[in-house]
Structure formats: structure tokens, C-alpha cells
Chain A
Amino acid sequence: MVTAGIDIGSRTIKFVCLNDNKIFDYQITDTTVEPLKKIEEVLKDKKFDQLVATGYGRYLMQENYNCPIVTEIKAYATGAYFFYPDCRTVIDIGGQDTKVIKIKSGEVADFEMNDRCAAGTGKFLEVMAQTLGYKIEDFGTEALKGSNSIPINSMCTVFAESEVISLIARGEDKKDIALSLHHSIINRVMTMVSRMNPEQKIVFAGGVAKNKCMVQLLKKKLGNILVPEEPQIIGALGAAIIAAKNFEIMTIKERR
């Protein structure tokens, strides 16, 4: 049986195909402002017996493809557990949400997630990279070249941007500002993480796990952390596994 998972995030759409519990196809594409069109492109010519959707845009799949949905919290927990059966904690930092998930025997035991504020998420890094004139994919490696000497107090993306602009005006080194910003977001994430009493093994997933500086700083705080080779696809993978398990997948429509 071939099953698939699609994770429609705020920044990227991830698609994973599983055959007998092995990933044989995956794809990552930008969500853009026309997610439905992008979804159509992704799903074109793909063959699978069952598809499950997750992520912020999961209702688009439900409404347009009558597709079962799960939350990204369950999907990330399932995906992380698949790769690392001894993982107890998942930190997922995506485009606009940060989630900390505790896992017990493969199931979600507890979770924390930010509410409306995008502080401590990928959005923060994205805006800051732009302010400093870095490409998002270089931001982490460039920050690692800095020496952290500037305290950045703002957690809020908007305030931090003003703070960065005044630091640039003061003539501070860009790399130092970049590193300080990474420290600032780590502090924010750690507040949420410590509230959850993280237990080893800890998996770091989501798009922000591709940032080397974030990985290094989190390691300093938490000891060992596991980062999957493709940290972005963990949610889509989880959705594909849930499709395979085929246990009582139901749409919200059926629930009502």
C-alpha cells in the first residue's frame, strides 16, 4: 500500500510518499499566495492509495479534496517517533508557529504552542535576515561567525526590527547582530521548552531546524538534540504514516 502525507505550512508545502514504511518520494515547494494551485501542482501525477493532510492549510485539503486531516502536532509527533523511536520530546519550529510536544509510547502526551504572536518562530528569523540583508539560508552560518556581545531585548518581531535598525545605525557588526538575534529567539523558544520539562531524546524539526546556528545554540541549552536530515518533511511523513496505520481516520465533518 502506498500512502501519502501533505503538510501545508505557512511558508512551504511538504509532500511525502510511503511504500511499506519506506519513504520513496518527497517534495518541498513554496506555499505562495495561491496554495490551492500549488497543491494541485504537487499532487499532479502522484499515485497513492490514501492521503492525509496536516498543517495550517489542512482545511483546504478537506474542503477541496475531501481529504482526512490531522493536526501538525500529532503529525510531527508521529513522524519524529518513526525516525527516532526513543524520542520523548519534539521541538518543531515552523514558519509561524513553535510547538513543543511530549511523546509517550509514540502518542502525544502533552504539547505547548504559541498563540497569535509569531515571536520565536521562523517568521522572526525571516524578517531579521531581510533587515540585515542576508538570504534566509545563509543567516545561520553567517551568525555563527559573529561574537555575541550585543544584548537584544525584544522578543517581538516588530520591536526587534527597530532595535536592529538602531544597532546598524550605531555601526555594530552585522554578524554580531545576527548572532544576538539567534540568542534572542532561543531564549523565547526555551521559555516554552522549559515549561514542558523536556526529556531526552529531543528531536528538533521544522524549517528552522535547517538553521545551523539555531541547532548549535539549542544543543548548548539542552545537551544532545537530534536533527533529521530533512527536518521540514517530518509533519508530512507523520501524516503519511497515519494514513498507513489506517486507524479510524475521520474528517471533522464526520465528527459533527
Chain B
Amino acid sequence: MSGNNYEKMWQELGLDVNLHNEVLNYINKCFQNTVGKQKNRPKTMEYFDSVLHESHGGRVAELIEEKSKGKKIVGFFCIYVPEEIIMALDLVPIALCGGTNFSVPYAEKMLPRDICPLVKSTLGLAFSKTCPYAPIKSLAVGETTCDAKKKVWDILAQKVNFHIMELPQKKNVIDANLWENEIHLFAENLEKLAEKKLNPSVLKEKIEIMNNKRKVLQRLAKLRLKEPTPISGLDTLVVMQAALNDEPVRFTKKVEELCDELEDRIKKGISPFSDKAKRIMVSGCPSVMGNWKIHSLIETSGGAVVVDETCTGVKYFKDLVDTKANDVDGLLGAIADRYLKLNCSCFTPNNDRLDMARNLAKEGNVKGVVQYILQYCHTYNIEAIRIEGALKQDNMPSLKIVTDYSEEDTAQLRTRIEAFLETLK
């Protein structure tokens, strides 16, 4: 996380600069203890590390620069929010999720303790004036996924300009229609904010930008699956976290470079792991910036994470938006279709996710699955039972971990993860 040359900027943004420095130091330390401790990393990872380090510095300065040119900033909390529509109106999308334990107590002053750490961390940054994006965004976009988020939007909407997309809970025709309608309402609201109308060719161009980003991440996901894997799961996670913060065209180019390097590593047989490492899939909740806990635990206990069935994994890039249509309505319809396929655990029934988990585990040729559940995330926690059952049909062992962002349970988690790896044949 970048240093003092941004202090003036943070002051002007009205941040609590001293506390903000503490946050950055804390996140830095977490980064050094996890990502930074790895050996034999691809050289291109330096770029993605720098994206994370500059997320409160250089990237914020970039966005302020964009704002001075008349572009407005739109913050979002979930990968159901279509970034291409935001971009098509000359607005800049930025993800606002918190993955640091540091800010959790600041949220607990106001919110109940027993809600998920991701929500608490995110809100804690905003409440304690340590989120540089809070003051620069013109709109925040929430969605009706989990109960914690839904009810927090009520509180936030009183303070900031807020738009809520209603995500249906089922996937029947009536639900798909509702969702398509929500996409239209979202677009209309953004048009008001941007003071312009959606233009089909610009929208198509932005869809292409997002599709290219998805394609390159798909390429990365394929390369990860090589045996031995050329990159750690933790490094891939860093790339995914950067995906939610970086400018998409520049990001895409850098992931291409990383993939080229990985192909070279594959040719030379270079892997960050010994050949004894056991291939693992992580499934369940996202690990957003600041949170490297579960991947680090697995990969320092003898596992190698080669696939992530999560929002900071496959879900973010698995589907492209169809670009056949030439009018705004047709393109928005294609966007609606694409985003409805993400298989969040808030859906009922959610059988598509069970099939997806089984297929990914098979394709990845993994020995076992670690289900990563953030404490108080009821939908993923309960769905874990069905996921475990689905995986059992293929004799795929799985281990469910329920945890928050703190370090207090790492010794027990390590024992459980090591024991799980010991049982994998």
C-alpha cells in the first residue's frame, strides 16, 4: 500500500489520515505474511501486486483525474452489477468490498456483530473515514443477494446516492423478466447520472472490453489447471482481486503477459509447488482484497489451489455477453441473460451451482475441495451441505471451513486443513 506521497490527496478527500495509515500498514503486513512469503512467483505478478498496493493511492489519483474530466465514479459491491453498462455511459465502475479485519470493529459500533465479515469490513472502512472511494463516488449500487447486504443498503441509502438492483431468488421465466427489467431500470438511472443516453455501438464496445477481460481470465484459469500448475492459487487470487480494481483494458493486457509467462513456465516445468502438493478446489465465499487467509493456509499446508468456484474465481469470468444484437434493448437483454447465470447461493433452488462445482472439480483433476464459508453467511453455509453431497456422488472429498477475517483460529484451521490433505489419496 502506497506511502506518504498521497497524504495530501487523502486529506483533501476528508479521510482520517492517521487511521488510514494504520489500515494500510495492517493490510501491508497481512500481504507480506501471505502473498509476499511465496517463493518462485511469476515475474508479471509484480504488476498485480502493485495494483493492490496502489488501490488506495495511484488508482484513487487516477479516478480523481477521470472525475476532473467529467466522468463520474460508480461503486459496487457484487459481481451481479453489470460493469459494461456503467462504462458505456462514460462512468467508471469500482468494486468497494473490504477484506480486512482491521475495519471490522468500526462497523460493529453501529451494525450487529453477527453479520458477515465482508459486510462489516466494507462498512467499517466507510464509517471510519478510511475508504478513499467513499468520498469520490457519485453513486453506489447494491443488490438483493444476502440479507445482511439488503438491510445495510437501507442504512446506506440514507447517507449516499444509492441504487438497488433487485436480484430475483429463483430462475423461472417470471424471474428472468424481473431481472431484465431491473437491468433496464439500472441503465435508466445511470443515464440520469451521466446526463446522456446509451448508444448501442458504445455499449457493444464496452461489452467487448469486458468479454476480452473474461476471455483472458478464462485463459489464465486453463493454464492454472496444467500439471504441475505454473502459478499458486494465492497469486491467481491476487489477479482476481486486481480485476475488481484496475482499469479493464490495461488489466487485460497484463493478464495476457502473465499467461505468456505461464506458458513459458509450463514448457520449462516451473511450478511454485513440489510434486507432492495436492490439487485443491476452493468453493464458496469470495476472498476480496485484504483477505488472503484461506489460500495461504491451504498452500502452506501442502495443498495447491488450482481452481476457485467463487465470485473471486470462475463466476466472475465463466460467461461472456452475447453481442449479436445491434440495439440497446437487445444488448441489455443479453447482459441480463449473462448475469443471471452466476449461481449465487442466494437462489433457490440452486442446482446449477451443484453441477458447476462437480464439473469444475472434475476438470481441475483435484484431489479434494475446501468449502470456504464466511462466518454468518447463511446461504453458502447451508448450501455447503448440498455441495458436499453433490461432490460425494463423484467420491470427491470436501472440507467445510467457517471462519471470519481474524487470525485467532488459524492454528485449528491449519490442523484441520493438514489433516484433510493427509486423508487425500
A interface residues with partner B (beta carbon < 8 Å): 56, 70-74, 97, 107-111, 113-116, 250, 252, 254-256
Asked if B403 contacts A111 (CB within 8 A), the reply is no
Q: Separation in Å of the A58 CB from the closest CB of chain B?
A: 9
Asked if A73 contacts B419 (CB within 8 A), the reply is yes
Q: Select which of A73, A114, A254 is within 8 A of B276 by beta carbon.
A: A254
Q: Select which of A74, A110, A252 is within 8 A of B300 by beta carbon.
A: A252
Roughly how many angstroms separate A110 CA and B368 CA in the complex, as a whole number?
Answer: 13
Residues of A within 8 A of B277 (CB): 255-256
* Size bracket, chain B contacts: 20 to 34
Roughly how many angstroms separate A166 CA and B205 CA in the complex, as a whole number?
Answer: 70
In the complex with contacts A254-B276, A255-B277, A256-B274, A115-B423 CB distance below 8 A: no
Asked if A108 contacts B403 (CB within 8 A), the reply is no
Identify the closest chain A residue to B411 (Cβ). A56
Residues of B within 8 A of A110 (CB): 423
Residues of A within 8 A of B274 (CB): 254-256
B416 interface hit (Cβ, 8 Å): yes
6 A-B pairs closest in CB distance: A73-B419, A116-B409, A255-B302, A71-B419, A71-B418, A108-B423
Residues of A within 8 A of B409 (CB): 115-116
In the complex with contacts A107-B423, A108-B422, A115-B403, A255-B415 CB distance below 8 A: no
Residues of A within 8 A of B276 (CB): 250, 254-255
B402 interface hit (Cβ, 8 Å): yes
Asked if A72 contacts B39 (CB within 8 A), the reply is no
* Selected A-B contacts with CB under 8 Å, 16 pairs: A73-B419, A97-B415, A108-B419, A108-B423, A111-B416, A113-B419, A115-B409, A116-B412, A252-B301, A254-B276, A255-B276, A256-B273, A256-B274, A256-B277, A256-B299, A256-B300
Roughly how many angstroms separate A56 CA and B413 CA in the complex, as a whole number?
Answer: 11
Q: Separation in Å of the A108 CB from the closest CB of chain B?
A: 5
Residues of A within 8 A of B416 (CB): 73, 111, 113, 115
Interface centre among B272, B274, B409, B418 (most CB of A within 10 A): B418
Q: Separation in Å of the A69 CB from the closest CB of chain B?
A: 8
Q: Separation in Å of the A38 CB from the closest CB of chain B?
A: 18
In the complex with contacts A254-B274, A256-B300, A113-B412 CB distance below 8 A: yes
Asked if A114 contacts B423 (CB within 8 A), the reply is no
Interface centre among A56, A107, A111 (most CB of B within 10 A): A111
Residues of B within 8 A of A256 (CB): 39, 272-274, 277, 299-300, 302
B interface residues with partner A (beta carbon < 8 Å): 39, 272-274, 276-277, 299-302, 402-403, 408-409, 411-413, 415-416, 418-419, 422-423
Residues of B within 8 A of A115 (CB): 402-403, 409, 412-413, 416
Roughly how many angstroms separate A17 CA and B403 CA in the complex, as a whole number?
Answer: 38
Identify the closest chain B residue to A70 (Cβ). B422
Residues of B within 8 A of A116 (CB): 408-409, 412
Identify the closest chain B residue to A56 (Cβ). B411
Number of interchain pairs (Cβ within 8 Å): 59
Residues of A within 8 A of B419 (CB): 71, 73-74, 108, 111, 113
Roughly how many angstroms separate A254 CA and B302 CA in the complex, as a whole number?
Answer: 9
Q: Select which of A73, A109, A250 is within 8 A of B415 by beta carbon.
A: A73
Identify the closest chain A residue to B410 (Cβ). A116
Residues of B within 8 A of A56 (CB): 411, 415
Residues of A within 8 A of B39 (CB): 256
Roughly how many angstroms separate A107 CA and B424 CA in the complex, as a whole number?
Answer: 11
Roughly how many angstroms separate A252 CA and B274 CA in the complex, as a whole number?
Answer: 10
Asked if B422 contacts A97 (CB within 8 A), the reply is no
Identify the closest chain A residue to B422 (Cβ). A74
Roughly how many angstroms separate A129 CA and B390 CA in the complex, as a whole number?
Answer: 45
Given contacts A73-B416, A74-B422, A97-B415, 4 further A-B contacts (CB under 8 A): A71-B419, A108-B422, A252-B301, A255-B302
Roughly how many angstroms separate A227 CA and B300 CA in the complex, as a whole number?
Answer: 35
Q: Separation in Å of the B45 CB from the closest CB of chain A?
A: 17
Interface centre among A73, A107, A116, A255 (most CB of B within 10 A): A255
Roughly how many angstroms separate A109 CA and B411 CA in the complex, as a whole number?
Answer: 22
Identify the closest chain A residue to B299 (Cβ). A256
Asked if B423 contacts A97 (CB within 8 A), the reply is no
Q: Separation in Å of the A236 CB from the closest CB of chain B?
A: 16
Asked if A113 contacts B300 (CB within 8 A), the reply is no
Roughly how many angstroms separate A114 CA and B411 CA in the complex, as a whole number?
Answer: 12
Asked if B300 contacts A114 (CB within 8 A), the reply is no
Q: Separation in Å of the A46 CB from the closest CB of chain B?
A: 26
Asked if A73 contacts B302 (CB within 8 A), the reply is no
